[in-house]
């Protein structure tokens, strides 16, 4: 036949877009987390709940859970090799710039500790404020930090509170003194390199040429 073989129920299954196991997957996952890793026992449990599918389908799902557990264990082991600076750098990076391994490491950090997960969310939220100039959200962000109970972020927030209005302007206005600070740094560098070696007229000429 031109249209190929049509098995009974195939069109109905295609319309559903899912197997009869899908509605029982959450139950199997919950029992897996509780410690039941035997495929046959998981099959018998969901069969009593009304599952009419095959045993191999359950075993395939169990294999997926086992593989995920192995990968998670490997990621957690790799976290022990991270220095504090490397971990912080991972948290402040733009997620779009991370490669696959870095994404796995970040996911492992967030999985191993709810505190780290919350810290990552708050850090990324602050970075969004910086990039999008959303200074109006600063007070709400500081309140989240207070409620988080994360001492390291609270210390940072305390510094922000000390000069909050200046920080708010920096997070709102596109005008900044970055160019002025750059020239000041350049002048200090020239002064240090010439200290005790030349008179003021030569220093003046070098400064004028540098600007």
| Same domain, residue pair 162 and 101 | yes
Residue 1 inside a domain? The answer is: no
Residue 5 inside a domain? The answer is: no
| Same domain, residue pair 170 and 90 | yes
Residue 63 inside a domain? The answer is: yes
Residue 4 inside a domain? The answer is: no
For the chain, the domain total comes to 3
Q: What percentage of the chain carries pLDDT values higher than 70?
A: 82
**Per-residue pLDDT, 19:** 76
32 vs 34: CA distance, rounded Å: 5
Residue 119 inside a domain? The answer is: yes
Sign of CA dihedral 44, 49, 53, 59: negative
Average pLDDT for 142-149 = 94
Q: Please provide residue 197's backbone torsions phi and psi, each rounded to the nearest 5 degrees.
A: -115, -15
**Per-residue pLDDT, 76:** 57
Q: Which of 81, 108, 137 is the last residue of a domain?
A: 81
Q: Which of 26, 47, 81 is the last residue of a domain?
A: 81
| Same domain, residue pair 87 and 59 | no
Residue that wins the pLDDT comparison between 75 and 14? 75
Distances (CA, A) of 39 to 42, 50, 65, 73: 5, 17, 11, 21
| Same domain, residue pair 121 and 197 | no
| Same domain, residue pair 96 and 168 | yes
Do residues 20 and 51 touch, judged by C-beta distance below 8 A? yes
Name the nearest CA neighbour of 157 among 93, 147, 66: 147
Average pLDDT for 123-130 = 94
22-32, pLDDT tens digit by residue?
889 888 888 88
Do residues 40 and 28 touch, judged by C-beta distance below 8 A? no
On the question of pLDDT at 11 being above 60, the answer is no
157-187, pLDDT tens digit by residue?
999 999 999 899 888 877 666 677 777 888 8
On the question of pLDDT at 199 being above 90, the answer is no
Residue 77 inside a domain? The answer is: yes
Confidence of residue 198 (pLDDT cuts 50, 70, 90): low
Q: Give the number of residues written for the chain.
A: 211
Q: Which of 56, 81, 106 is the last residue of a domain?
A: 81
**Per-residue pLDDT, 160:** 93
On the question of pLDDT at 63 being above 70, the answer is yes
Name the nearest CA neighbour of 91 among 113, 130, 115, 124: 124
Confidence of residue 81 (pLDDT cuts 50, 70, 90): low
On the question of pLDDT at 2 being above 60, the answer is no
Domain span at 97: 82-175
| Same domain, residue pair 185 and 100 | no
| Same domain, residue pair 189 and 147 | no
Residue 6 inside a domain? The answer is: no
């Amino acid at each position: 036949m031109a249209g190929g073989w049509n098995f009974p129920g195939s069109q109905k299954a295609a319309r559903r877009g899912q197997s009869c196991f899908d509605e029982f997957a959450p139950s199997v996952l919950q029992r897996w987390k509780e410690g039941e890793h035997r495929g046959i026992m998981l099959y018998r449990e969901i069969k009593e709940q009304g599952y009419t599918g095959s045993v191999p389908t359950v075993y395939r799902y169990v294999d997926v859970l086992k593989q995920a557990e192995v990968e998670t264990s490997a990621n957690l082991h790799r976290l022990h090799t991270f220095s504090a600076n490397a971990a912080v750098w991972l948290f402040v990076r733009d997620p779009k710039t991370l490669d696959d391994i870095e994404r796995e490491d970040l996911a492992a950090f967030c999985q191993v500790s709810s505190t780290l997960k919350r810290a990552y969310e708050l850090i990324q939220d602050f970075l969004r404020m910086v990039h999008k100039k959303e200074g109006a959200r600063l007070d709400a962000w500081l309140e989240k930090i207070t409620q988080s109970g994360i001492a390291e972020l609270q210390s940072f927030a305390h510094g922000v509170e000390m000069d909050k209005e200046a920080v708010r302007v920096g997070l709102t206005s596109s005008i900044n003194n970055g160019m002025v600070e750059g020239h000041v740094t350049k002048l200090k560098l020239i002064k240090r390199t010439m200290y005790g070696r030349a008179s003021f007229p030569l220093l003046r000429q070098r400064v004028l040429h540098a600007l």
